[in-house]
Amino acid sequence: MSFGEMPLANALLSAADLDRSEQRFPLELAFCEPCALLQITESVDPELLFGEYAYFSSYSTTMLDHAAELVTRLVRERELDGDDLAMEIASNDGYLLQHYARAGVPVLGIDPARNVVEAARKRGVETLCAFFGEEVAQELAAHGRCASVLHANNVLAHVPDVNGFLGGVASVLAAQGVAVIETPYVRELVERTEFDTVYHEHLFYYSLTALERLFARNGLRIVDVERLAIHGGSLRIFATRVDARDDARPSVKALLDEEDGLGMSRPGYFENFAARVDELRDELWALLRDLKSQGHRLAAYGAAAKGSTLLNSFGIGREMLEFVADRSQHKQGLYMPGVRLPIVPVDRLLEEMPDEVLLLAWNFAEEILEQQAEYRGRGGRFIIPIPHPRLV
């Protein structure tokens, strides 16, 4: 499935950039049957994608609550204390590790984005500015810095050398340590037509079947799995080193059997995905045109990467929307890639009172709808585009 030439989803533009052309790269989905893995065909230089990063996890209340709940659970279940080390790969601004630090557990974050590393350090979270892989892992292990618990949330899809990444996890994990890895679930992407999850940062789209083969190849055993609602549907994987000899819980076999019954390791499962994306495009455009024909003013909310995919692949730009509101001060004053819509503070919703707002960050719909209760109370409505456009 081809999306054509697309700008990088998080390459937000400054006013000075508007006079220059943007870099665009092919964005195409392909399925690899031997490894049961849906993936894109083009890898962009990671420095272009992650050297400076526009997404700060701490601007999402949902993410903060999600992190705090998980840390509290693991500290209790694994009896973590000052003799342990909690590590996170792609640790962003320290949104998760700060909770371990408050519980008295030593922490180490690893992230390649200079700006978010600076934010994490200001929060008091020790963070190494680097791309994680086997070399970094072996150096940490050689200095005795092995993780009792290692987190990697929403990063496994981003890593070109995924075997090197997981080999590094096996190297830096303590003998009885656990890796807790969250990644979007390809089943949700396909069944809910979450096509906007596809962008250049997301190289891979995982099923548990694909993950089990991948982990086993790199000295790790998946011992438990949970399905999560966050990010439109995710998997949380618990893995240990193979020499830890932990037995897998029934949840692992149950989900593997379920995926096999659905045919998720075969191409046929994905065949009508592109057609359903085309249908969604037609439905959303019909709704937007109808609202505009009634004289309604339209805006958008959430300068998220998925929003860039939706706007650019559907061709929705300044002729339809006036602006994109976003809570992050790091995005305000910039412009969306490709479509070049201005990104403004969320206060503009109440100041301008557009009739409808296209919710690009639909994966945080509940949080955003609650935050924007006043806008809705004044008569404003949100358009939630996935899996079918609807007004709320």
Closest C-alpha to 305, from 184, 392, 211, 388: 184
Residue 51: per-residue pLDDT? 62
Q: Give the confidence band of 15 by pLDDT, cuts at 50, 70, 90.
A: very high
Residue with more model confidence, 153 or 53 = 153
Identify whether the C-beta of residue 325 lies closer than 8 Å to the C-beta of residue 349.
Answer: yes
Mean pLDDT computed over 11-27 = 94
Residue 66: per-residue pLDDT? 86
Least confident of 18-22, 56-60, 105-109, 365-369: 56-60
Q: Give the confidence band of 245 by pLDDT, cuts at 50, 70, 90.
A: confident
Share of the chain above pLDDT 70, in %: 97
> Is the domain of 62 the same as that of 207?
yes
Q: Which two tokens stand for residue 229?
A: 């609602």
Domain CATH for 144: 3.40.50.150
- pLDDT for 320-344, tens place per residue? 999 999 999 989 999 999 999 999 9
- pLDDT for 87-142, tens place per residue? 999 999 999 999 999 999 999 999 988 888 999 999 999 999 999 999 999 999 99
Least confident of 106-110, 155-159, 235-239, 259-263: 155-159
Is a pLDDT exceeding 70 seen at residue 54? no
- Residue 16 inside a domain? The answer is no
Q: Give the confidence band of 241 by pLDDT, cuts at 50, 70, 90.
A: very high
- Residue 6 inside a domain? The answer is no
Mean pLDDT for all residues in the chain: 93
> Is the domain of 318 the same as that of 202?
no
Q: In whole angstroms, what is the distance from residue 229 CA to residue 250 CA?
A: 21
- Residue 234 inside a domain? The answer is yes
Q: What share of the chain is helix, strand, coil (3-state, %, to 5)?
A: 40, 25, 35
Mean pLDDT computed over 72-91 = 96
> Is the domain of 113 the same as that of 160?
yes
Mean pLDDT computed over 340-349 = 97
Beta bridge partners of 325: 301, 344
Q: Within 294-364, where are the H helices?
A: 305-314, 347-352
Identify whether the C-beta of residue 215 lies closer than 8 Å to the C-beta of residue 221.
Answer: yes
Residue 47: per-residue pLDDT? 75
> Is the domain of 234 the same as that of 361?
no
Is a pLDDT exceeding 70 seen at residue 254? yes
Residue 59: per-residue pLDDT? 59
Residue 55: per-residue pLDDT? 52
Mean pLDDT computed over 158-173 = 94
Could you list the residue range(s) of the whole structural domain that residue 329 is in?
272-391
> Is the domain of 220 the same as that of 247?
yes
Whole-model pTM over 0.75: yes
> Is the domain of 82 the same as that of 129?
yes
**Count of domains forming the chain:** 2
Share of the chain above pLDDT 90, in %: 84
What's the CA angle centered on 169, arms 80 and 164, to 5 degrees? Answer: 170
Domain CATH for 380: 3.40.50.720
Q: Within the chain, where are the H helices?
A: 46-50, 61-77, 97-102, 114-122, 134-142, 162-172, 186-191, 208-217, 250-262, 273-293, 305-314, 347-352, 365-371, 373-377
Q: In whole angstroms, what is the distance from residue 85 CA to residue 282 CA?
A: 51
- Residue 21 inside a domain? The answer is no
> Is the domain of 150 the same as that of 214?
yes
Q: Give the confidence band of 53 by pLDDT, cuts at 50, 70, 90.
A: low
Q: Which two tokens stand for residue 27?
A: 């964005």
Mean pLDDT computed over 366-390 = 96
Residue 113: per-residue pLDDT? 87
Residue 46: per-residue pLDDT? 74
Closest C-alpha to 81, from 108, 61, 107: 107
Name the domain boundary from 241, 270, 299: 270
Is a pLDDT exceeding 70 seen at residue 58? no
What single-letter amino acid sits at 303? A
- Residue 14 inside a domain? The answer is no
